[in-house]
Structure 1
Amino acid sequence: MVDLDLSISFLFCLLPLLLLLFFVNSKSLFTSFFSSNSTTLPKSYPVIGSYFAILANKDRGIQWITDVVTSTPTSTFVLHGPFGKRQVFTANPSNVQHILKTHFHVYQKGEVSRRTLKDLLGDGIFNVNGDTWKFQRHVASQEFNTKCLRKFVETVVDTELSDCLIPILSLAASNKTVLDFQDLLQRFAFDNICRIAFGYDPACLLPSLPQSKFADAFDEAVQFSAERGSALLPLIWKMKKFFNIGSEKRLRMAVNKTREFAKEIIKEKKQELNKKSSLDSVDLLSRFLSSGHSEVFVADIVVSFILAGRDTTSMALTWFFWLLYNHPDVEHEILREIGEISEESVYDEVKDMVYTHASLCESMRLYPPVPLDSKEATEDDNLPDGTAVKKGTEVAYHPYAMGRMEKLWGPDWAEFRPKRWLERDTTTGKWSFVARDPYMYPVFQAGPRICLGKEMAFLQMKRVVAGVLRQYRVVPVVEEGDGPVFLSPLSMKMKGGLPVRIEERGEKF
C-alpha cells in the first residue's frame, strides 16, 4: 500500500527538489496539491512522483485509491512514487483472475513484502511461497473437512456462545451498560481459533473481560507492521530498526510478547503430547509439531493462524451488525429465517441459513475484512487490460473498490441488498444462494491461495448471528448522522470500536 504517513525526514530530504519544482511550475503544483478532485489520476513529477497527491490524501488512503481506480476506463491505474517506484492498483476482475490464478506463478509474495512482515509472521503461511507454503497449506487443509467443521460449530463456537458471549450480553441488557461490540467479537473469535486450532483456551471472554497483554501486543505488532508496508522510503523504518528507536522499538517489544504467547501454547501442547501415547483428537498444532519442524517455525504458523482467525471474522461481524441496525428490513428477514429453522442440530441449522449467508456476503462486499491485497511480479508481464508490469512491481487488487463499482454490481451498488445473492425456486418458493465469480468478489482471495477457512468462517458467523439475534437487539450508540470510520492496516477495523447497547427481544422464535 502507498505511504499515507510520510515522515518529516523524507520531506526534508526532498525539500531542495520541491522548491525547485515549485518555482519552475508553481501554478501547476498549487493546483495539484489543493485540488479536491480525487477521481482524476494523481499528477506525477520527476523524482518525487505523485508525492503531493499521496500527502493530500494521507488520511483517506483506501477511499482515495477506490475513487481513482473506479474512475478509470480499465479499473486499473499506476501510482508513481518517489525515486521511480511504481505500484499497480486494479479492480478489474480479469486482472484479478490473471494475478490469482492464470499467472499465479508470476505474482507471489515478494521480497519487499516478506521483509516487511518477517518479524511478525516469520515463515508462516501468509508470508511464504513455493514448497514452504504448499507444506503448510497441505497440513492445514486436513483441519477443514466436514467432521472438523461440525466439531468446530457444535463443541467450540456453540459453547463459547452459550457459556461466554450470551451471559455477557444478558448482563449488559439487565444493567443497560454500553459494550464495545467489536472488542467482544475479537475476544470471541480469538478464543475460538485458539481452541480449535491449538487445543488451548485463552479465556478472553470471561465476564470480567480481562485485559489481554497478548491481544494488545498483537494489535500493536499488526499496526506497526502495516505501517512498514506503507512506507515510501523503507530506509527510514530500517534505520529505526537498526537503532532500535521509535515505532520499530515498539514493534520489537510487541512481537516479542506475541512470540512468548505462541511459545507458551507450543510448550503446553508438547507436554500434552508427551503425556499421552495417542490423543482423542488431533488439532492443527499437533499436526505441525509432529512434522518435525523447529519450534520457531511452528510459532510462525501459530501467529499466522491467529491473525487469520481472530481479525477477519470479528471485523466482518462488526460491520454486519452495524449494517443490520441501519436496515431493519434485513434484520426482520433474518429473524424469520431463524424462526423457521430447527434447532435440533446446530451444524445443520447454520448450514441452512441461506438468507443470513447472503446478508453476510453483502456486508463483506461493502466492508471486506481485508480491503486490499498485493503481490509482486517475479517477471515482466502484461495484465489482460494492457497494463504493463515490470519485474519487481507491486500489484494490488482492491476488494473494497470492487464491491463499490456500478459496472460490477449495477446502479444499486451502494444499497445493502442481500437478495442480489439469491434466487427463488418457482416450485418450492424457497431461496437458494447464488455465488458470484470469485474474481469479481475476491474477499476470500481466489485461485490456489483461496482461503482454507472460508466455510469455517461462515459457519462461525452464522452461529453468532442466530444466537445473538434470537434473544437480543444490538443497538449502536452513535450520534444521529454519524457513522463508524474504518482503519485499514491489515483488516477493516472500526476506529474506536463499536459501542452498543443490548436490548432483550420480546418476541419468541
Structure 2
Amino acid sequence: MKSSPSFHDSWFFIFFFFFLVVLSLIIFFVLKLRVLYCTCEICQAYVQSRWTSHFPNLCDWYAHLLKNSPTRTIHIHVLNNTITANPDNVEYILKTRFDNFPKGKPFSVILGDFLGRGIFNVDGDSWRFQRKMASLELGRVSIRAYSFEVVNQEIDRRLTPLLESVCTRNEILDLQDVFRRFSFDSICRFSFGLDPKCLELSLPLSKFAVSFDLASKLSAERAMFASPIIWKIKRLFNIGSEKKLNQAIKIIHILAREVIRQRRKFGFSDEKDLLSKFMTTISDETYLRDIIVSFLLAGRDTVASALTSFFWLVARHPVAEAAILHEAYKVIGLNKGPTSYEQIKELHYLHAAIYESMRLYPPIQFDSKFCLEDDVLADGSFVKKGTRVTYHPYAMGRMEEIWGSDCLEFKPERWLRDGVFFHENPFKYPVFQAGVRVCLGKEIALVELKSVAISLLRRFRVELVDGQEDKPRFSPGLTATFRDGLRVLVRARSSVSSQIINKNEKL
C-alpha cells in the first residue's frame, strides 16, 4: 500500500520552491544591477552615498553638480535620470513638448499604491477630467472667499489659542508639527467639509495624519533606489519598508472611505467643499478615495512646508519681519486682522517674502516626468526614450545667472517694483509648476500662507531654539520636511506699539 507524503516532505517542497523563487529573483537582480552599474564619479558618489560627507542634503549635492555643469543639466546613469536647472529646458519640458514628457508609467508605479489614480499620478483623460473639475471650482471668486473664511476660523479658534497657551508656559514648540496639523484641519474642512480637529489645545494625534506622513516618506524612498527591483521584491514579500508602507496605506484608505461615507451621510449637493462637487459626478469610491489623498498631498504638506521655511527665515531676518509688520499696519490698521481676500492681496511685501522663501526652500524640491520618445532639450542635451527627466526648483533658486550674485540671500525686495509685487518668468521659478500643469490651487495656497503669516507675526515673536539657525536638513519625502522639526519659543508681542515699526528698524 502506497503511503501518502509526510508532513515534513510537504514542508520540504514548500521550502525548496520558496528557495528557487528567491534565488531566481537574486540572479535577476544581480544581472539587472550589472546593467545599471556605472563607474563614473557622480554615480559612484550616489550609490556609495559619498556626497553625505560634503553636503547636508541630497538636493544641495544636486545643486552643486548643476551649478558646475556648463548647460546646468546632468545625467545620473544609475537612476537613468536627466536633471536640469536650466529655465529653457523647463519651458521645453512643461510647455513646448508637454505631450512628450508626461508623468509616465514608471512614476505612476512608484506612487501608485499611495496616490492611485489621483491627479498627481495620472496622465491623459483621467488627468484632464480631474483638472477640469478642480479648475471650475478653484477659479471661482466665491471659493477663494470660502477658503479665506475657513483658514481664518482655524487661526482664531485653534492656532492662536494654542500659541497663547504655549507662551504662558514658556515651552519649546515644534512649529512644523503645528503647521502640519493646522493645514490638515484646514484642507479637510475646505476640501471635504469635515473637521478632524488635529489642532486642539491638547494636540491630539490623528492616525490618518501619521500614516499619511509615513506613506509619503516611504513612497519617495522608492524613487531613490538605483533599481525598482529592490522595493518591488520587498513589496512582493511584504517585508521591511514595504510592509510599513502597506500598513500605512491601509489606514489611509479606511479613513478616506470614512470621509466619503460621512460626506454622503450629511449630504453634498448644496455644499461648498470640493469633494462634494466631485461626488455629484463620480460614484466610484476607489476613484474618490484617490482624489481625497491627492487633495491632502496638495493642500496639507506643501502649505505646511512653505510655512515652516518662511518662519525659519523670518526669525533669522528681523528687518524683513519689521517690513512685513509695517506694511500690515498701513494696509490693515492697528489691532485688526485681515478682513477679506481682497485685503490680503494688498500685502505686497508679505507676498514677496513668501515667494522669496519658496525660491530658497520650495515645498517640492524637484519634479520628474518621463520621456516618451527620443528628444533633445533646449540646451542640446539628448534624452533617450524612457529616461526620467527632472527639473529642480531648489537648485534653480541657487543659480547666479537666474537670480544674481546675491541668489543665496533672503531678499524679498527682489520681487518688488515700486513697492508692488512683480511676477517673474514662471519657468525661472517653477515652484507651482508652469505651463500646462501649473498648480490650480496656487491662489488658495497663497491666501492660506499670507493669512497665517500676518496673523501670527502681529501677535507673536518666534525665536529659534539654539541649533536651529544653521542650514536645515531635510527628511526624504514628496515634500520638503525639516528633519528635526522647527523648535521655537513663542513670545507674545508686549504692546500694540511694537507693531508700528519703521521697516528699516530691527525688532
Q: Tell me the TM-score range normalised by the shorter chain.
A: 0.7 to 0.9
The one-character-per-residue Cα deviations of 1:217-239 (angstroms, maximum 9, x if unpaired) are: 11111111111111112111111
Task: Name the structure 2 match of 1:399.
Answer: 393
Question: Contact (CA 8 Å) 1:371, 1:488: kept in 2 or not?
Answer: no
Residue 41 of structure 2 is aligned to residue 43 of structure 1: yes
Residue 58 of structure 2 is aligned to residue 64 of structure 1: no
What runs of 5+ residues in structure 1 fail to find an aligned partner? 1-8, 22-28, 30-41, 45-49, 425-430
> Of residues 146, 151, 154 in structure 1, which corresponds to 2:141?
146
Structure 1 distance, partners of 2:417, 2:278, is 42
1:58, CA displacement in angstroms?
A: 5.8
Question: Contact (CA 8 Å) 2:468, 2:486: kept in 1 or not?
Answer: no
1:73, CA displacement in angstroms?
A: 1.1
Residue 153 of structure 2 is aligned to residue 127 of structure 1: no
| Other structure's SS at 2:41 match | coil
Alignment of 1:90-129 (within 5 A): 90-129=84-123
Question: Contact (CA 8 Å) 2:217, 2:476: kept in 1 or not?
Answer: no
| Identity in percent | 44
Alignment of 1:81-230 (within 5 A): 81=78, 86-144=80-138, 145-154=140-149, 156-230=150-224
Question: Contact (CA 8 Å) 2:282, 2:288: kept in 1 or not?
Answer: no
Structure 2 distance, partners of 1:336, 1:412, is 25
Relative to the length of structure 1, the TM-score reads 0.87
Structure 2 distance, partners of 1:17, 1:130, is 35
> Of residues 459, 475, 485 in structure 1, which corresponds to 2:463?
475
Question: Contact (CA 8 Å) 1:57, 1:64: kept in 2 or not?
Answer: no
Question: Contact (CA 8 Å) 1:143, 1:283: kept in 2 or not?
Answer: no
1:481, CA displacement in angstroms?
A: 5.8
In structure 2, relative to structure 1, the CA distance for the partners of 1:17 and 1:395 (3 Å cut) is: closer
Structure 2 distance, partners of 1:100, 1:440, is 12
Alignment of 1:410-421 (within 5 A): 410-421=404-415
> Of residues 312, 316, 327 in structure 2, which corresponds to 1:322?
312
Instruction: Give the residue type in structure 2 aligned to 1:283.
Output: D
Structure 2 distance, partners of 1:52, 1:359, is 36
| Other structure's SS at 1:223 match | helix
Residue 283 of structure 2 is aligned to residue 293 of structure 1: yes
Structure 1 distance, partners of 2:223, 2:283, is 29
What runs of 5+ residues in structure 2 fail to find an aligned partner? 1-25, 500-507
| Other structure's SS at 2:212 match | helix
Alignment of 1:490-505 (within 5 A): 490-505=478-493
1:13, CA displacement in angstroms?
A: 4.4
Relative to the length of structure 2, the TM-score reads 0.87
1:51, CA displacement in angstroms?
A: 3.3
1:478, CA displacement in angstroms?
A: 2.1
Instruction: Give the residue type in structure 2 aligned to 1:502.
Output: V
Alignment of 1:228-377 (within 5 A): 228-273=222-267, 278-279=269-270, 281-342=271-332, 343=336, 345-377=339-371
Instruction: Give the residue type in structure 2 aligned to 1:112.
Output: P
Structure 2 distance, partners of 1:488, 1:98, is 28
- What is the RMSD of the two structures over their aligned residues, measured on CA atoms? 2.2
In structure 2, relative to structure 1, the CA distance for the partners of 1:354 and 1:303 (3 Å cut) is: same
| Other structure's SS at 1:370 match | coil
The one-character-per-residue Cα deviations of 1:366-404 (angstroms, maximum 9, x if unpaired) are: 000000100001111100110011111000000000000
The one-character-per-residue Cα deviations of 1:293-327 (angstroms, maximum 9, x if unpaired) are: 30000000000110110010110110110100111
Structure 2 distance, partners of 1:372, 1:480, is 24
Instruction: Give the residue type in structure 2 aligned to 1:355.
Output: Y
Structure 2 distance, partners of 1:331, 1:375, is 38
Task: Name the structure 1 match of 2:18.
Answer: none
